Structure 1
Amino acid sequence: MKQFDARVAWQRAGQPFLDQRYSRAHAWSFDGGLTVPASSSPLSVPVPMSDPAAVDPEEAVVAAASSCHMLFFLSLAAQEGYVVDSYEDQAIGLLDVGPDGRAALVRIELRPAIRFAGRQPEAEALARLHHAAHEKCYVANSLKCAVVVKEA
């Protein structure tokens, strides 16, 4: 078993609290030393209680799914002899009411635009690489919502 650590820290800093108008800004710290500003989404909690410049949990889940898929895709492409020059994904997550009636990310769409050097994969090979990357992706395997790849 592997363990992944993250530290989440928030301080009230003297703000009123019971009126629900406190800042949701906080920090995520990771084992490599990086600290990322985080907040609730302004789509969930209005500014100024949310920080639109910070990463929100929903964006982080979408980015994690995209990143995980990309990392497996790159490895699989290399194994098959394809040289990837660039990979860029404009991923989106859709928040709605889930099957159990609670708010949930109900779908994540990955839209990778991939540039290859030299030999170009046929459509069937590209679909196979995406399918294999999706099957191996730890994040996609951990989510209840659909994670769908749409070639850009």
Structure 2
Amino acid sequence: MNGQHNYKVTVEWTGNNGTGTSNYKEYERNHSIIVNDKMEILGSSDSKFRGDKTKHNPEDLLVGSISSCHMLWYLHLCSEAGIIVTDYIDNATGIMIESSNGSGRFTEVTLNPIVTVKEISMIEKATDLHKKANELCFIANSLNFPIYHNPVSKLEKQ
């Protein structure tokens, strides 16, 4: 699986209310994120930046991408290690700081995965594998801010 992988995404602005960007308050930030053969994602900016709060914004999608990539690597590592995961949920958070000129940047993301395993003997190794998953995560390796982890591993209810 070594080598280059290419991705193609189309982002189409759908927020022209008839006058384009003639005035900052006259257009919507709505857009569609389109990837061939996949469900369309309806996007906007964060509501703090005049966006539609019912649509996905780039900041939420970034935090979600980090969490999702970590989970997929983690489950892969668990399956290789003989750890049977029966449930996984992550309530991830991110902090973005806005600058005086209107730009901004993420300063950190914290993953809070709660992992349920089949047997008590799997709990310690299940917790330890989060470190390795972070080292392998494609998204985490592409970022310039820290990603923290507060994993909890617990036993499946019998």
TM-score, shorter chain, exceeding 0.5: yes
Structure 2 segments unaligned to the other structure (5+ residues) = 153-158
Cα drift, residue 128 of structure 1? 2.7
Q: Give the TM-score of the pair, scaled to structure 1.
A: 0.87
Q: Give the TM-score of the pair, scaled to structure 2.
A: 0.84
Cα drift, residue 83 of structure 1? 0.5
Which of 27, 31, 35 does residue 36 from structure 2 map onto?
A: 31
Partner of 2:82: 81
How many aligned residue pairs are there? 145
What RMSD over aligned residues (CA atoms) do the two structures have, in Å?
Answer: 1.9
* Matched residue SS, 2:47: coil
Q: Equivalents in 2 of 1:79, 1:34: separation in Å? A: 31
Q: Which letter does structure 2 place at the counterpart of 1:31?
A: N
* Matched residue SS, 2:18: coil
Which of 1, 5, 8 does residue 8 from structure 2 map onto?
A: 5
Structure 1 segments unaligned to the other structure (5+ residues) = none
Partner of 1:14: 18
Cα drift, residue 76 of structure 1? 0.3
CA spacing shift, 1:17–1:140, aligned 2, 3 Å: same
Q: Equivalents in 2 of 1:110, 1:19: separation in Å? A: 39
Is the Cα–Cα contact under 8 Å of residues 127 and 151 in structure 2 kept in the other structure? no
2:67 aligned with 1:66:
yes
- 1:21-46 per-position Cα deviation (integer Å, ceiling 9, x unaligned): 11001100112331010000012x13
